[in-house]
Amino acid sequence: MHILVCVKQVPDTTEIRMDPKTNTMDRSSAPTIINPFDAHAVEEAVKIKKEFGGKVSIISMGPPKAEEVIKKCIEMGADEGYLLTDRAFAGSDTLSTSYILAMGIKKVIEIERIDLLLCGKQAIDGDTAQVGPGIACRLGMPQLTYVESIENFNLKKNVVVVHRKIDNGYEVVQSKLPCLITVEKDINELSFSPLTNMIKAARYKPITWGINDLGGDLSKLGLNGSPTSVQRIFSPKQRVGGELLKGSEDEVVKTLVDKLKGGIRKWQL
């Protein structure tokens, strides 16, 4: 079994700034980490590999320093990694990002078929949850989103059964393989990496591909190829302090009710 996991290097969201000229994140202003949801996808892939055999590959799009996130995945138990990096990719929105990743995945498939594709539910720097489904659509692959547990693999029948999180519980869904699964953090707990994996990760160099390796339509890449854009960024006005009501309990309640009724009448008008 060959499992491919899409991962992203993201800025620590507590320390990010926006570039006022391009209205994009200034990723140089904050330390970077592996996207937490993607880390759980890698953990799940390694868990499946231990049970059924095979190997785990990683694919990531980002600047050259994004190889750090691939090294982290090797430390977690992945076997190999592919880094898609090129200046032409900079500023890509979710549509463009899914296009670039889909091209990279197709190139991986040319080398070795993929039985399962895993992604985190969403990236913490965008919170759109659109890239995983976008990849699946471009590859013509079934997609199972918001998965909180993989119930069963039947390699003889070539199917997988999962629990998908929904508002009031979960639903059980079966899909043919290969398929794309986006995972919740609830799917597992991250484990500690053995020393041998850490040594391997420190020495590992991922396979790197740019636009010349992937091909594709340049008009669909980067800022110019992204149909969505941020028009304006601003901080909301700070709220002023509330009114402190004084008096006895009965007086305060009467005043509060009168104010609420007045607000309702104003809203109805």
Find, among 7, 33, 43, the residue nearest to 193 by Cα: 43
Task: Look at residue 129 and tell me whether its pLDDT is greater than 70.
Answer: yes
**R_g of the chain computed on alpha carbons:** 23
Q: Does some domain include residue 94? A: yes
pLDDT score of 98: 94
Task: Look at residue 23 and tell me whether its pLDDT is greater than 80.
Answer: no
Query: How many independent structural domains does the chain possess?
Result: 1
Q: Does some domain include residue 71? A: yes
Write out the two tokens for 94: 């979710």
> Torsion over CA of 105, 111, 117 and 121, rounded to 10 degrees?
-40
State the pLDDT confidence band at 22, using cuts at 50, 70 and 90: low
Find, among 210, 177, 8, 222, the residue nearest to 104 by Cα: 210
State the pLDDT confidence band at 138, using cuts at 50, 70 and 90: very high
pLDDT score of 180: 97
Write the burial class of residue 84 (CB in 10 Å: 0-12 exposed, 13-18 middle, 19+ buried): buried
Report in angstroms the alpha-carbon separations of 118 from 11, 49, 75, 109, 245.
Answer: 21, 13, 18, 15, 55
CATH code of the domain covering residue 32: 3.40.50.620
pLDDT score of 18: 63
Task: Look at residue 245 and tell me whether its pLDDT is greater than 90.
Answer: no
Model confidence over 76-109: pLDDT tens digits?
999 999 999 999 998 888 999 999 999 999 999 9
Strand positions, DSSP E, the chain: 2-7, 9-11, 17-19, 24-26, 32-34, 55-61, 80-84, 116-120, 143-154, 159-166, 169-176, 180-183, 207-209
Mean pLDDT over residues 154-165, rounded?
92
CB 25 within 8 A of CB 76: no
Q: Does some domain include residue 188? A: yes
Task: Look at residue 19 and tell me whether its pLDDT is greater than 80.
Answer: no
Q: Does some domain include residue 28? A: yes
Task: Provide the mean pLDDT of the chain.
Answer: 89
Q: Does some domain include residue 96? A: yes
Q: What is the pTM of this model?
A: 0.80
Q: Does some domain include residue 138? A: yes
What is the span of the domain harbouring residue 111?
Answer: 2-220
Strand partners, 119: 6, 182
Query: Three-state DSSP class for 248?
Result: coil
Model confidence over 26-85: pLDDT tens digits?
656 667 899 999 999 999 999 999 999 999 999 999 999 999 999 999 999 999 999 999
Mean pLDDT over residues 173-200, rounded?
95
Find, among 42, 31, 34, 54, the residue nearest to 118 by Cα: 42
State the pLDDT confidence band at 216, using cuts at 50, 70 and 90: confident
Mean pLDDT over residues 199-206, rounded?
95
Report in angstroms the alpha-carbon separations of 233 from 22, 58, 69, 125, 126.
Answer: 10, 34, 29, 15, 14
How many angstroms separate the first and last alpha carbons of the chain? 64
Mean pLDDT over residues 215-230, rounded?
84
Q: Does some domain include residue 19? A: yes
Q: Does some domain include residue 237? A: no
Query: Three-state DSSP class for 118?
Result: strand
